[in-house]
Amino acid sequence: MIYLDHNAITPMRPEAVEAVERSLQVFGNPSSVHAAGRAARDLLDASREKVARALGAAPSEIVFASGATEAATMAIRGALAASPPDRQALTVTAVEHPCVLDLATALARAGTPVQVVPVDRQGLPDLEVLHAVVGPETALVCGMLANNETGVLLPVREMAAAAHRAGTLFFCDAVQAVGKIDVDVRTLGADLLALTGQKLGGPRGAGALWIRGGVRLLPIFGGHQERGRRAGTENLPAIAGLAAAVEAALARRPEEEKRLRALRDRLEAGLLAAVPHTHVNGALAERLPGTLSVTFAGADGEALLMALDLEGICASAGAACTSGSTRPSHVLSAMGLTVAEARGTLRLSLGWSTTQAEIEEALAKIPPLVERVRSAIPAVG
pLDDT band with cut points at 50, 70 and 90 for residue 380:
low
Quote the pTM value. Answer: 0.94
Q: Specify which residues 90 forms β-bridges with.
A: 114, 140
Find the Cα–Cα–Cα–Cα dihedral 93, 96, 98, 104, rounded to 10°. Answer: -30
Residues 227 and 121 in one domain: yes
**pLDDT at site 318:** 63
Output the CA–CA distances (angstroms, integers) from residue 341 to 184, 263, 332, 357, 380, in the order listed.
36, 25, 8, 29, 9
Q: What is the domain extent for residue 292? A: 2-8+253-376
Q: Residue 343: give its domain's CATH number.
A: 3.90.1150.10
Residues 70 and 219 in one domain: yes
* pLDDT one-digit tens code per residue, 179-210: 999 999 999 999 999 999 999 999 999 999 99
Exposed/middle/buried for residue 24 (C-beta within 10 Å: 0-12, 13-18, 19+): exposed
Residues 242 and 264 in one domain: no
* pLDDT one-digit tens code per residue, 67-76: 999 999 999 9
Q: Specify which residues 125 forms β-bridges with.
A: 119
**pLDDT at site 219:** 85
How many independent structural domains does the chain possess?
A: 2
Question: Which is catalytic among the residues 99, 172, 314, 321?
Answer: 321
What is the percentage of the chain residues whose pLDDT exceeds 90?
90
Residue 327 counted as domain residue: yes
CA 374 to chain centre: 31
Q: Does the pLDDT at position 80 exceed 90? A: yes
DSSP string, 118-139: -B-TTS-B-HHHHHHH--TTEE
Cα separation, 205 vs 262, whole angstroms: 31
pLDDT band with cut points at 50, 70 and 90 for residue 233:
confident
**Residue 215 three-state SS:** coil
Residues 187 and 90 in one domain: yes
Q: Specify which residues 193 forms β-bridges with.
A: 172, 210
Residues 305 and 234 in one domain: no
Q: Residue 208: give its domain's CATH number.
A: 3.40.640.10
| Ramachandran bin of 56, using left for φ above 0, alpha for ψ from -120 to 50, beta for the remaining angles | left
57 with 83: CB under 8 angstroms?
no
DSSP string, 263-327: HHHHHHHHHHHHSSSEEETTTTS-B-TTEEEEEETTB-HHHHHHHHHHTTEE-BSS-GGGTT-SS
| DSSP-derived secondary structure letter, 29 | -
pLDDT band with cut points at 50, 70 and 90 for residue 376:
confident
Residue 321 among the catalytic residues: yes
pLDDT band with cut points at 50, 70 and 90 for residue 166:
very high
Cα separation, 230 vs 44, whole angstroms: 14
**Domain finish residue from 214, 248, 282:** 248
**Domain finish residue from 231, 248, 265:** 248
Q: What is the mean pLDDT of residues 163-173?
A: 97
